[in-house]
Amino acid sequence: MTTFVEPRLSYRSSIPREDVHRAAICEVFLTDIVCDRYPKFRLGAQLPRVHSYYSDHDCVEQRYDPLLLLETFRQASILIAHRYVQAPPDSAFIFNTGELRIVSLDALAIGPRPADGVLDAEIVEEKTRDGVIVGVTLKMTLSLDNRPAAEMDMVIQWMPRAAWARLRTKGRAALALEPVRAYGLDTRIDPREVARRLTGNVLIAGFEVHDNAISTRILVDEDHPALFDHPLDHVPGVLVFEAVRQSALVAAHELFGLSPHRLLLVECAVQFVSIGELELPVDCEVTTEITECGNQLAFAASLHQEGRVIAAATILLQRIGTSPRVRAIRIPA
C-alpha cells in the first residue's frame, strides 16, 4: 500500500521580499510554498503579533487584524503567479476583485507565541492572451494553528511594465494630470472615531452625514510605511480596503450611535473599477438600509475621484464584546 506524506511547510524564515513585491523584510508574512499538484498550493504564513499598523486598534477585544489576513492572501497571489504561472519578475500587477470572509473570530485570537499559518490556494480560472496566462482567479483559505480563520476569493492579472506605462500615460492624459496636480489634506479625524490609537493610521480627513449615508474624504498618505511599503504610481488596493473599513466605522457611529471600539470587520468585497490617481482627492460614499435585527451591520460603499468611480465595495461589521442585539443593515437592492 502506498502512503502519501504531505510535505511539511517551513517557518524558519520569510520568502524573498521581491517575490511578493515588498520592500521591507518585516512586511513579508509568507514563509514557504509547495505545489504537489497544479493548480493547488499550500503556503506557510506567520503573522506579526505586534505591528505599527495592523496592531493599532483600540478595540474591546484584541485579535489579528482581518486586513492583515487580506495582505497575506494578496502576497500569496503574487508569489503563486511568479513561481508557478510564469509571471515575469518585472510585471505590473492589477487587483481586479477581492472578497474576504472571516470564518472564525476565535481563530483570530493572539496567543503567547506566533501562530503557524497554513494558506491553501487553488487557481480556479486562468485568463489567457495569445496562449499565455496573464491573470488568475484564486480561491484561498487561511488556518491559524489548525483553526480555519478566513477565506478569500481574488482575481488578479499582470502585464509587462512597458504596457503598463502606456496604459498609465493614456489614462492620465484623459484626466489632464500632466503637469502633475497637487492637493493638500493635512488634518485627520480623531483616531478614536475609527478605533485607532495612532493618528498616522487614520485615513479620513473629514466627513458629512446625510439621511441614511455618509461621505468621507480619504487621505492618501504616500509616506505610510505599510500602505506604501514602496513607491507606487496609483492608489493601492490595500488602501481602498482600509478606507472602506474606516468609513463604515464612522457610518456605524454617526448613523446608529454604535461604538467603533466594539465593531470588527468580518466580510469585505471590493471591485476595482478604475485606477486611483495619487494627485486627485478621494471621496467615499457609504449607504445603508435597515431591514432586520441582528449583531451585524452591512454597508455599501463607493470611492470616487472627481465623480469617477474607482472602486465599489460591500462590508460587513460584527458587534463584539456585548450580548444585546443591534439593528442589522443590509445593502440597498
34-68, pLDDT tens digit by residue?
998 999 999 999 999 999 999 999 998 889 999 99
Host domain of residue 77: 1-159
Which of these, 130, 31, 39, lies nearest to 81 by C-alpha position?
A: 39
240-274, pLDDT tens digit by residue?
999 999 999 999 999 999 999 999 999 999 999 99
CA distances (Å), origin 234, targets 50, 53, 95, 313: 28, 20, 12, 18
Is residue 166 a part of any domain in this protein?
A: no
Is residue 169 a part of any domain in this protein?
A: no
- Secondary structure in 3-state letters for 61-73: CCECCHHHHHHHH
What is the pTM (predicted TM-score) of this model? Answer: 0.92
Is residue 165 a part of any domain in this protein?
A: no
Domain total in the chain: 2
**Same domain as 121, residue 11:** yes
Higher pLDDT, 289 or 17: 17
Listed residues 111, 128, 159: the one ending a domain: 159
**Same domain as 329, residue 281:** yes
**Same domain as 57, residue 155:** yes
Is residue 167 a part of any domain in this protein?
A: no
Please, which pLDDT band fits residue 182 given cuts at 50, 70 and 90? low
- Whether residue 333 is predicted with pLDDT greater than 90 in this model: the reply is no
Q: For the domain that residue 296 is a member of, what is the CATH number?
A: 3.10.129.10
Q: How far apart are CA 117 and CA 40, in angstroms?
A: 17
Is residue 271 a part of any domain in this protein?
A: yes
Is residue 266 a part of any domain in this protein?
A: yes
Give 70's contacts (C-beta < 8 A, 6+ positions apart): 98, 100, 152, 238, 241, 268
Peptide bond into 89 cis (omega under 30): no
Q: How far apart are CA 135 and CA 132, in angstroms?
A: 9
Q: What is the rounded (10 degree) CA torsion for 306, 312, 316, 317?
A: -20
Is residue 291 a part of any domain in this protein?
A: yes
Give 148's contacts (C-beta < 8 A, 6+ positions apart): 103, 104, 107, 141, 142
60-96, pLDDT tens digit by residue?
888 999 999 999 999 999 999 999 999 999 999 999 9
**Same domain as 208, residue 77:** no
Higher pLDDT, 333 or 104: 104
